[in-house]
Each structure stands twice: as C-alpha cells, then as structure tokens.
Structure 1
Amino acid sequence: MYAIAINGSPRKGGNTESLLKAVLAPLEQAGWDTELVRVGGKPVRGCIACYKCFENKDMRCSINTDLFNELAEKIFRADAVIMGSPTYFTDVSAELKAVLDRTGLVAIANGFALRGKIGAAVVAVRRGGGIHVFDTINHMYQMSQMIVPGSVYWNLGYGLNKGEVANDAEGMGNMQHLGEAINWLGKAIAPVRDSYPAPKGPVEGDI
C-alpha cells in the first residue's frame, strides 16, 4: 500500500514536516510505501472554476503550468492521503488550499476518484486556530467520500520555531497513533474498498 503526505508549509524542515514524518513512520514500519511532498512555498494556483475537468474526465486539471497534475497522479494512486498545514490566520496555507480545491473538484469530475481512500489531516499550530485548519482539510475529504480515521485527540502539534513541536509529547504521540490507525484501517478496508457505494444522480462541485 502507498501513502502520500503533502506538506503545505513553505518552511523546509519545520514543524509540519516533523508531524507528517511522525505519521509516516509507523506506516513505513508496517511495510507501506510512503512519500512526503512539500507544496508550501511553491507556485500552485487556485481553481479557476473552468470545469474542464468535467468535460475531459482524464483525472487532470486543465491548468498545466504548475506542479498540481504531477501531485494529483500520486494522490489518486494512493491508498492514504495525509495533508498537513501550518496555521495561517486560523486556516491552511494558500498552497494547500489550492491543492484541496483542485483535488476535490477533479475527483468529483472523475466519478469521485477519492472514494474509499483514507484521508487524514495534520496541523502545526503555535497556540490557537488549529481546529479550523483541521476542519478545512477534512471538509474536502468528507465531500469526496473518503474515510477519515480518528486518533487519541485532534491531530495537532504545538510549536512555533523549527523543532519545537518535538517538545509536544502528546502531539507527537497522537501522530504515532494516527499512523498506526491508518495502517490498521488500510488493511481492514483493502479487500472491500472497490465496493464503496458511489453517489446516485448528478453531482456538481461548489466552486
């Protein structure tokens, strides 16, 4: 099985990256193929609501001038998608929001291509506002018929400067448990994931 972790922070080696690596560690130990991709700080434009993805139905976005389609191929191939973001004025980074919007719409346009996959949100936060970031990521997952595993608390890690999140023992423990939960869930649903019910009737994106 394959899990991709998407880092929405522009800070290389920052707290969001540390949290995502902590989630991936138990998956790697369990034999999953894993990949960590950083989109924060890179040029990723938002959805332009052209709806070409509904016309083309080729699992791609019509915008070919940034990294999104390369990333989308990995997302749609993955069994588990873990998206992480720092907290910017109580929400995700601009780059991760662009990825969320475009991934969600392309998935819906292609028969809910994320249906039955595992989706997990991870948030680095200095003090407050992290729950809204957590919700933003999970909203796309839930509208896409993904399966969102729980853990021992909200998937938040506290810290401001690089490396500070390692001092949040509860947060890091939560990431370890989240990775273990994704592993268990992935193995449990693998035999039946293709039978996950598809929506009936026309469905339109809300962008």
Structure 2
Amino acid sequence: MKVIAINGSPRKNGNTSQALKVMTDELEQQGIDVEIIQVGQLDIHGCIGCGYCGTSDEHHCVFREDIVNETAKKMREADGFILSSPTYYAGIAGTMKAFLDRVFYTSSAYFKYKVATSFSVVRRAGGVDAVHQLNNYLNLAQTVIPPSQYWTIAYGKEKGEVLQDMEGIQTLRKNARAMAWLLKIIEAGKDKIPVPSEEKRVMTNFIR
C-alpha cells in the first residue's frame, strides 16, 4: 500500500515538513510506503474552469508545464494521501490552493473511498479554518477521513518549534496510525464487501 503526502508549504524544511515527517514515519512503521511531494515553492497555475479536463484523455488539466498532472496521477494510483499546509490568513497557502483546485477538479472521481487526511501548522490562530478548507476537498471527493483525538493542527512559528507542541504531534501521530489501520481494513475487505451502490448524480441549479 502507498500514500502520497503533499507538502503545501513554501519552506521545504520548515514546521509543516517536520510535522508531516511525524505522520509519514508512523505510516512507514505500520508498513505503508510513503512518497512526499513538495509543491509549496513551485510556480503552479490556478484553475480557470475551462472544462478541458472533462473531455481530455485521462482527464488531464490543460496546463501541462507544471507538476499537477503528474502528481494527480500518483494520487489516483495510491491507496491514500495526506494534505498539509501552513496557515496563512486563516487559510491554506496560495500555491497549495492552486494545486488542489486543479488536482481535485480533474481527479475527484478517482479518489472516491480512498483514505485521506489533512493537517495545518499555525503560529497561534486560524488553524481550524485551514484544516476545514483542506477537508472540503476530501469530503467532496468522498474520501474516508481517519480520526484522531483533536483537530489535526500543530503549533509553531520558528523552524523546529512545532516539535515542542507535544499534544499537536501526538494528535498527528494518532491520525497517521488510524490512517494505516483504515488502509489495512479497506484492503482486507475489497474482495469481501462491495463498495456502496452508485446513483446517477442529481444536479440542481438555482438560476434557471
């Protein structure tokens, strides 16, 4: 089994990276392969809602010069993924937003019933809002989100301070442990329990 871990921080080795390593170390101890992909420092074009991905082969995004299509493919093929971001103005980092808009617009249909989670790192306040923003992508893609003991937020400003937030680190570690458990449960049940039956989606527009 494999998990793709997305780091949305512009700082490669900052607090978000260190908190993410806590989770990936736990997954690896549980026998799960992990690939970390750093996107926060890249130049990533935002989604323009052109609809090209709806008709293109393999539902690729029209913008092919950045990492989005390549990473979306890896996330489609993985058993699960982690989304992580620092907190900027009570929200996620801008490049991460551009990345997620395009990945989920092209690939949400491939993510259904995958195990996925998210966390944010924050200096003081706004972390709950950032996690909620990340989880909006996971919920709309119908992923299975593992639990933990508290909101998946860790605190720290200067590099390395996040590791002093013992409760936050424990929360992330327990979240990763629950993620590994869910991955194994779903894998064990694939041949025994079918996924829920599907219905044709009803779309209701309020402007006629």
TM-score by length of 2: 0.91
Q: CA RMSD in A?
A: 1.7
2:84 corresponds to which residue? Answer: 84
Instruction: Report which structure shows greater RCO (CA 8 Å, sep ≥6).
Output: 1
Show the 5 A alignment for 1:19-58: 19-58=19-58
Distance 1:53 1:197, change over 3 A: farther
| C-alpha distance in 1 between matches for 2:8 and 2:198 | 29
Q: What displacement does 1:61 show?
A: 1.1
Q: What displacement does 1:196 show?
A: 4.2
2:126 corresponds to which residue? Answer: 129
2:168 corresponds to which residue? Answer: 171
Distance 1:59 1:11, change over 3 A: same
How many pairs does the alignment contain? 201
Check whether the contact 1:116–1:196 (CA below 8 A) recurs between aligned residues.
no
2:67 corresponds to which residue? Answer: 67
Q: Structure 2: which amino acid aligns with 1:87?
A: T
| C-alpha distance in 2 between matches for 1:12 and 1:59 | 29
Distance 1:43 1:194, change over 3 A: farther
| C-alpha distance in 2 between matches for 1:200 and 1:159 | 45
1:140 corresponds to which of 111, 125, 137: 137
1:149 aligns to 2:146 (yes or no): yes
Q: Percent identity?
A: 36
Q: Name which one, 1 or 2, has greater alpha-carbon Rg.
A: 2
| C-alpha distance in 1 between matches for 2:194 and 2:38 | 29
Check whether the contact 1:116–1:194 (CA below 8 A) recurs between aligned residues.
no
Helix, strand or coil: the match of 1:72? helix
Helix, strand or coil: the match of 1:201? coil
1:104 corresponds to which residue? Answer: 104
Distance 1:103 1:18, change over 3 A: same
Q: What displacement does 1:26 show?
A: 1.6
2:4 corresponds to which residue? Answer: 4
Check whether the contact 1:115–1:196 (CA below 8 A) recurs between aligned residues.
no
Q: Structure 1: which amino acid aligns with 2:155?
A: Y
Distance 1:65 1:4, change over 3 A: same
Q: Structure 2: which amino acid aligns with 1:47?
A: C
| C-alpha distance in 2 between matches for 1:199 and 1:24 | 35
Q: Structure 2: which amino acid aligns with 1:187?
A: K
| C-alpha distance in 2 between matches for 1:150 and 1:62 | 35
Q: Structure 2: which amino acid aligns with 1:155?
A: T
| C-alpha distance in 2 between matches for 1:65 and 1:135 | 30
| C-alpha distance in 1 between matches for 2:65 and 2:110 | 23
Q: Structure 1: which amino acid aligns with 2:118?
A: A
Q: Flag as ranges the 4+ runs of structure 1 deviating above 6 A.
A: none
Check whether the contact 2:72–2:107 (CA below 8 A) recurs between aligned residues.
no
| C-alpha distance in 2 between matches for 1:131 and 1:152 | 14
TM-score by length of 1: 0.92
Q: What displacement does 1:195 show?
A: 2.1
| C-alpha distance in 1 between matches for 2:195 and 2:57 | 21
